[in-house]
Amino acid sequence: MNVLFSELFLGALLFGAVTAAVPLLLAGLGEQISEKAGVLNIGIEGMMLLGAYTGFLGAYQSGSLWVGFACGMAGGLIAGLFMALMCVRLGFNQIVVGIGITLGLEGLTALLHHFQFSRSYPRLPAAEVWEVPLFVNIPIVGPALFAHNPVVYFAIALVMVLSLLYRRSQFGLWLQSAGDKPEALDVAGIDVYRTRTIAVLITGTLAGLGGAYLATVGAGLFIPFITNGAGFLGIVLAMLARGNPSWVLGGALIFGLCLSLTTALQVAGTNVPTDVIQMIPFLAVMLMLIAFGRRSSLPRALGIPYERGSR
Amino acid sequence: MSSVDTELDRVSRVSPVKANLTLMDMCRPLLTTFVPLLVALLIASLILLAVGVDPLAYYSYVVERGLFSPSGLQQTLTRMAPLLLLAAGLIIAFRAGIWNLGVDGQFLLGALAAAVLAPALHGVLPGWMVLTLSIMLGALTGALWSLLPAYLRAYQQVNEIVTTLMMTFLGLSLGNALVKLVFLDPATTVPQTATLPVDARLPRLFETTVSSGVLIGLVAIVVVHLVMQRTAFGLRLRVVGSNAAAARHAGLPSRKLTMIVFALSAALAGMAGAVDIVGVHGNLRADWNPAFGLLVIPMVFLARLNGFAAIVFVLLLSILSIGGESAARRLGVPSSFTLVLVAIVLLTLAVAEHVDQRWRRQRLS
Amino acid sequence: MNVSIPAADPEVSRLPAAQAPVVSLRGVTKRFPGVVASDTIDLDIHPGEVHVLLGENGAGKSTLISMLAGLVQPDEGEILLDGEPVSLSSPKDAINAGIGTVFQHSMLVPTLSVTENLLLGDRWWRRPDRASLATRVAAIVEPLGISLRLDAPAADLSLGEQQQVEIVRALLRDSRLLILDESTSMLSPSGIEELGALMRRLVSRGLAVVFISHKLNEAAAFGDRISILRLGRKVGSIGPERFRALEQDVLVAEIIEHMFDDQERGTDASVAKRLPVDLSGEPLLVVRDVSLSATDTSPALRKLDLDAWPGEIVGIAGIDGNGQKQLAELLAGQRALEGGSIHLAGQRLDGLNVGERCELGLRYLTDDRLGEGTLGEFPVSLNFFIKQIGSSPYWQHGFVRGSDIDAEARRLVKEFDVRTPSIRTPVGRLSGGNIQKVVLGRELAEGARLVVFNKPTYGLDVKNIRTIQRRMMDAAASGIGLIVISTELDELLLLCHRIAVMVDGAIVGTVSNTGESVRHDIGRLMAGVTS
């Protein structure tokens, strides 16, 4: 039992928490920007999978993780483009299209994996790590929190950038208007479709990056359905965070910790079976939803396609 | 309130809209369903080509194995049983405006309940009672599993898409854990529950291998359809699903109705799992998740939430499912292709309907 | 037609001579499926003038505004800016052309502050900067005599204040033409006067103002030039010289002649005279000490008392948002009482739900016929029975009896003159007036004893307004009690025996509808002056 509290264990736990949190963070931030603008993106799980696949493929073929990340973002962007076209421009039911995208991309990535990797199951070497000088020397916490792949730092920086964007920029005003009262934005002379499209494209890109990170850095390989609900967790985070990127970060870290706990407990050789451990993160989610769900305030025009002149 | 509609009032004073039934109008439903299906098949063919599979060979194999071979057809019909029950559950929920995406979790736990009860009661109670009780327990378990999302939605307006999805993940893990830890059958090496002997399962139809579960499924979906269309209860659900403000104005007890809808929908999903166990498998293997719900959801959309249309689409899905499983072994095309095909069909049909509506609006002006 | 025109404004005579028009319409036509909303309109809008576009609902005013605001494009004709043709294909184009529009319904984003709303639409690289904005705003509002709370969230503002923000926003963008669309419908009498004065000040600074209205008295009070619209066409116009020259009653008569055809003119008389109410019996409706806590759109209801006798029409006047809708919902059973009691014909209604109250005869006709009054995708026939789902004879043992429903639906359609291709048509496809008739038919159907009407004629054209008002009078004549909530004082004065005034969740006074001073008394009650 004292293994559980050894330095090694805690360090591994924290490191794993951050690694697991990053895809959730990116998914959550991505979903948040879409929802702010009034688009409910259920397809984000599929977008992450596509990013995971293209990211893995890119990294594997080129030998460079950076190429992998770029490919992952490109994959997510394409999926986002599709969603923008169907839901923003053409005004289809966002839930139906989202389910379609998730199913289609789940199937497509599994299909492609079958034909490409199911015999070889290639793995990627461990990802490069950037250490933050000074901080990395703090005992236990240092190597766990300050020696990570650059995408991690990017994701955290993104939280701050988005906070500023939402509160201090014109574009932030456009997003909020598009989600709360799109006709007011239209009348003020700003293109509602363009605002929503940009939001959805950003969502796709971030989801793709999150998936790519998950596959290349987090796991080092790609298997079908590797995201295992990370996209949906991102939706939960976005809904609970009430428009605040910092809260997405907080929530992602909590869930990341739970996910990390599952691996850590297994590694530590406890007698608690895998399946029970795997329930922990989702239990945490349900508890959060029970406790805070009521206070989640969603934009008024969420899920409703905008049509000029309709009342 | 727009006053453009007062300008429309002038029109209605002149003459009512005349119905001009052209050939186009009569062909329209067929066109809007079959043309997109063809387009979907074409797109899917391109994907097959990309991975090096001959699409024509694949499609003909699927249809031949799923529909035209006697054993395949029987398997297809048997497979329809859980799918129809799932469809029935989804139709109730969707028509009431409730996105119950947790059907897969409810399915699995319902299956587990039946898998545990049936062998335990076997020999103790008469066969038909064992089956009935097992199926009912499956339904009850499914309903209970939806209680939390139901309450959160009804009383705290928490979006049910998210809660039901999370409950699915929880349910799958919980089911697995229970199979491996609590209900493990010591008599076998494979981790699974105790097996219900073949002759104790749901009886077959006539001389075929088709499980009578498909009759249960057909009855369920027809009953759901009639209830929604013809009863006061069904109308109340449709009102709540159509416009929550109008439901409140009409004095409908939305919260109570929401809880009831969840319970019914999840019960049918749980029943689907139970029927699959006591009709086909006889036991529940660990790590088993056929994810039928995932596939039935698009079918229900395609059927525009109509029960009878859903039967047709479920049949098609069944053929694809059985044929696809065979093709997976023979042609090396994994079952994930089914997902892709279903998704493409869903999206092309959505596009077709949109185009159709645009056409109609043009014609009015 | 009862029109009261305040004394002529002495400033009117000091108007400068009309300058070249800033915006003109030449032969502008716009068609929608099945209707010509605008038919070869020629219009000139001059700076320094308040140009009133006068017309009843359905005359085509909103379509013209939409075209000037860039939301809709004309099918034929052209719009000229300073004499040059211009294409207004989006709101951005309209703003760039110097056209600012204040729509009838608030176009502020409620979750943003006033500052953010003012800056919405600015260049994308400009940060919303409160400091520099404050100076610019001060320069604009000071000579206009208004003040804005820059940091308040837009949702906290009253409707009048929201309008002012939108006007200031238009001025911030250097608008040369300001369009005010039915801006007075949400204001109190004093608020209306303030708006009128504001318009005069704007115009004296060289702005062109287009003021859309369907109210004759406002047009005459605030306008310099009037263009009269009917059925999509411009049927008359009165320029500033003529305006000032004519006697008031001649002016009014000329306007009326343009606005209405023979059938509709002076049809007040066609709405039957009010029958005197027999007050000797017990009141039909007794509301005592009724309370309800505040909601996000209304103040708390504090110990309300209200009575209504059979055959009596009781009006409730007051600006929108003072708790009228909540009172109606309380009476209907949609909301639960938090104090006090409601009795109908001696029977206590607490705990009875909507359906039960309908059965007892208490009906509620909502102001929101599209949002909550009807189910747009459902057939007309079912919409008649939404509040009695499950009750016999239309449902037996839970199963619907289609033939019974159809028969009764057909009867109601005939009786209430609902124009619909069939009783199976989705009700959302009908025009506004016909949808209102469906709702009316539902609430006035068999067994009605006390009907609460919330803005029953809002947004309808004259013909339908008269029809509905006639029905209401007929209902009263047959012994049904009516409670009429309306923001149109003229309507209440036409219909009601008594008029209660509701301010801030309480009934501040009730006026008997007799004598000349009623309008004045109501105005004073609304302004908070107790007699």
Per-residue model confidence as pLDDT tens digits over A215-234:
999 888 898 999 988 999 99
C477 Cβ neighbours under 8 A, 6+ residues apart: C272, C275, C311
Helix (H) or strand (E) holding C292: strand C285-292
Q: Do C35 and B250 touch (CB under 8 A)?
A: no
State the helix-helix crossing angle for B147-156 and B254-276, rounded to 10 degrees.
160
pTM: 0.88
Tell me how far apart the alpha carbons of residues A281 and A262 are, in angstroms, rounded to a whole number. Answer: 8
Q: How far is CA A246 from CA A35, A162, A251, A253, in A?
A: 16, 9, 9, 11
C265 Cβ neighbours under 8 A, 6+ residues apart: C256, C257
* CA-based nearest residue to A106, from B329, B334, B259: B334
For B78-117, the pLDDT digits (tens) are 999 999 999 999 999 999 999 999 999 999 999 999 999 9
Interface of A with B in 115-144 (CB under 8 A): 115
3-state secondary structure of C213: strand
Q: How far is A278 from chain B (nearest CA, A)?
A: 7
Q: Do C121 and A190 touch (CB under 8 A)?
A: yes
Q: How far is B144 from chain C (nearest CA, A)?
A: 26
Using only the alpha carbons of chain A, give its radius of gyration: 20
* CA-based nearest residue to A204, from A50, A80, A45: A80
According to DSSP, residue C323 is labeled S
Of B165, B170, B339, the CB nearest to A107: B339
**Residue B212 near residue B280, CB atoms below 8 Å:** no
* CA-based nearest residue to C180, from C62, C70, C72, C98: C62
**CB-count burial class (<10 Å; 0-12, 13-18, 19+) for C250:** exposed
pLDDT at A183: 92
pLDDT at C266: 52
- The CB-side HSE value for B166 (13 A sphere, CA atoms) comes to 28
Segments of chain A scoring below 50 in pLDDT: 311
According to DSSP, residue C379 is labeled B
**Residues of chain C contacting residue A308, judged by C-beta atoms under 8 Å apart:** 71
* CA-based nearest residue to C374, from C329, C430, C310: C430
Of B157, B298, B344, the CB nearest to A99: B298
Which residue has tokens 């029953």? C456
Confidence of residue B5 (pLDDT cuts 50, 70, 90): very low
According to DSSP, the β-strands at C233-238 and C225-230 are antiparallel
Evaluate if residue B18 carries a pLDDT over 60: no
Evaluate if residue B261 carries a pLDDT over 60: yes
Interface of C with B in 1-40 (CB under 8 A): 31-35, 37
3 state SS for chain B? CCCHHHHHHHHHHHCCCCCCCCHHHHHHHHHHHHHHHHHHHHHHHHHHHHCCCCHHHHHHHHHHHHHHCHHHHHHHHHHHHHHHHHHHHHHHHHHCCCCCCCHHHHHHHHHHHHHHHHHHHECCECHHHHHHHHHHHHHHHHHHHCHHHHHHHHHHCCCHHHHHHHHHHHHHHHHHHHHHHCCCCCCCCCCECCCCCHHHCCCECCCCCCECHHHHHHHHHHHHHHHHHHEHHHHHHHHHHHCHHHHHHCCCCHHHHHHHHHHHHHHHHHHHHHHHHHHHHCCCECCCCCCHHHHHHHHHHHCCCCHHHHHHHHHHHHHHHHHHHHHHHHHCCCCHHHHHHHHHHHHHHHHHHHHHHHHHHHHHC
**Residues of chain B contacting residue C62, judged by C-beta atoms under 8 Å apart:** 2-4
Q: How far is B267 from chain C (nearest CA, A)?
A: 22
**Residues of chain C contacting residue B3, judged by C-beta atoms under 8 Å apart:** 57-58, 61-62, 432, 459
Of A112, A283, A311, the CB nearest to B1: A311
Chain B touched by A95 (CB under 8 Å): yes
pLDDT at C308: 93
Q: Do A170 and C110 touch (CB under 8 A)?
A: no
**Residues of chain A contacting residue C98, judged by C-beta atoms under 8 Å apart:** none
Helix (H) or strand (E) holding A76: helix A65-83
**Chain B: partners with 3+ C-beta pairs within 8 Å:** A, C
Tell me how far apart the alpha carbons of residues C156 and C149 are, in angstroms, rounded to a whole number. Answer: 10
Q: How far is C12 from chain B (nearest CA, A)?
A: 32
Q: Do A110 and B334 touch (CB under 8 A)?
A: yes
For C199-217, the pLDDT digits (tens) are 988 998 889 999 998 888 7
**Residue B354 near residue A96, CB atoms below 8 Å:** no
pLDDT at B365: 53
Of C368, C398, C433, the CB nearest to B232: C398
Tell me how far apart the alpha carbons of residues B22 and C218 are, in angstroms, rounded to a whole number. Answer: 52
Tell me how far apart the alpha carbons of residues C389 and C355 are, in angstroms, rounded to a whole number. Answer: 8
Phi, psi of C304 (to 5 degrees): -85, 140
pLDDT at C13: 41
pLDDT at C292: 92
pLDDT at B10: 41
**Residue B155 near residue B148, CB atoms below 8 Å:** no
- Report the Cα C258 to chain-centroid distance in Å: 22
Q: Which residue of A has its CA nearest to B162?
A: A236
According to DSSP, residue A127 is labeled P
A242 Cβ neighbours under 8 A, 6+ residues apart: A295, A296, A297
Q: Which residue of C has its CA nearest to A190?
A: C121
Of C91, C123, C127, the CB nearest to A187: C91
Of B162, B173, B333, the CB nearest to A235: B162
For B144-182, the pLDDT digits (tens) are 999 999 999 999 888 899 899 999 999 999 999 999 888
* CA-based nearest residue to B75, from B272, B284, B251, B326: B326
Tell me how far apart the alpha carbons of residues B297 and C477 are, in angstroms, rounded to a whole number. Answer: 56
DSSP C113-182: BHHHHHHTTS-TTS---HHHHHHHHHHHHHHHT----TTSBGGGS-HHHHHHHHHHHHHHTT-SEEEEES
Q: How far is B202 from chain C (nearest CA, A)?
A: 32
Q: Do A309 and C72 touch (CB under 8 A)?
A: yes
Tell me how far apart the alpha carbons of residues B96 and B242 are, in angstroms, rounded to a whole number. Answer: 7
B123 Cβ neighbours under 8 A, 6+ residues apart: none
Q: What is the mean pLDDT of chain B?
A: 87
Residue of B21 and C345 predicted with greater confidence? C345
Which residue has tokens 């009326």? C256
Tell me how far apart the alpha carbons of residues A143 and A136 are, in angstroms, rounded to a whole number. Answer: 5
pLDDT at A181: 93
Of C91, C110, C117, the CB nearest to A189: C91
Rounded to 5°, angle at Cα C374 from C373 and C375? 140
**Residues of chain B contacting residue C103, judged by C-beta atoms under 8 Å apart:** none
**Residue A203 near residue A41, CB atoms below 8 Å:** yes
Chain C touched by B250 (CB under 8 Å): yes
Tell me how far apart the alpha carbons of residues C229 and C259 are, in angstroms, rounded to a whole number. Answer: 7
Mean pLDDT on C368-396: 92
For C412-453, the pLDDT digits (tens) are 999 999 999 999 999 988 888 899 999 999 999 889 999 999
Chain B touched by C419 (CB under 8 Å): yes
Q: Do C109 and A170 touch (CB under 8 A)?
A: no
C374 Cβ neighbours under 8 A, 6+ residues apart: B246, C383, C386, C427, C428, C435, C438, C439
- Residue B109 tokens, joined: 């736990």
- Residue B125 tokens, joined: 């109670």
Edge-to-edge strands, sheet with C99-102: C99-102, C177-181, C208-213, C50-54, C225-230, C233-238
Long-range contacts of C302-307 (CB under 8 A, 24+ apart): C302/C505, C302/C506, C303/C339, C303/C340, C303/C506, C304/C340, C304/C506, C304/C507, C305/C507, C306/C483, C306/C500, C306/C507, C307/C283
Instruction: Select the highest-mean-pLDDT range: A215-229, B100-114, B191-205, B295-309.
Output: B100-114
Q: What is the mean pLDDT of chain A?
A: 89
Please count the residues of chain B: 365
3-state secondary structure of C337: coil
ipTM of the modeled complex = 0.87
According to DSSP, the β-strands at C498-503 and C225-230 are unpaired
Residue of C260 and A162 predicted with greater confidence? A162
CB atoms within 10 A of CB A16: 21
pLDDT at C128: 66
Tell me how far apart the alpha carbons of residues B283 and B285 are, in angstroms, rounded to a whole number. Answer: 6
Tell me how far apart the alpha carbons of residues C234 and A81 are, in angstroms, rounded to a whole number. Answer: 47
Buried-exposed string C41-57: b where 16+ CB fall within 10 A, e elsewhere: bebbbbbbbbbbbbbbb
Examine residue B70 and say whether the peptide bond preceding it is cis (omega within 30 degrees of 0).
no
Evaluate if residue B314 carries a pLDDT over 50: yes
For B32-54, the pLDDT digits (tens) are 777 888 899 999 999 989 888 88
Q: Do B339 and A232 touch (CB under 8 A)?
A: no
Q: Which residue of C has its CA nearest to B227?
A: C399
Q: Do A309 and C120 touch (CB under 8 A)?
A: no
**Residues of chain C contacting residue B253, judged by C-beta atoms under 8 Å apart:** 353
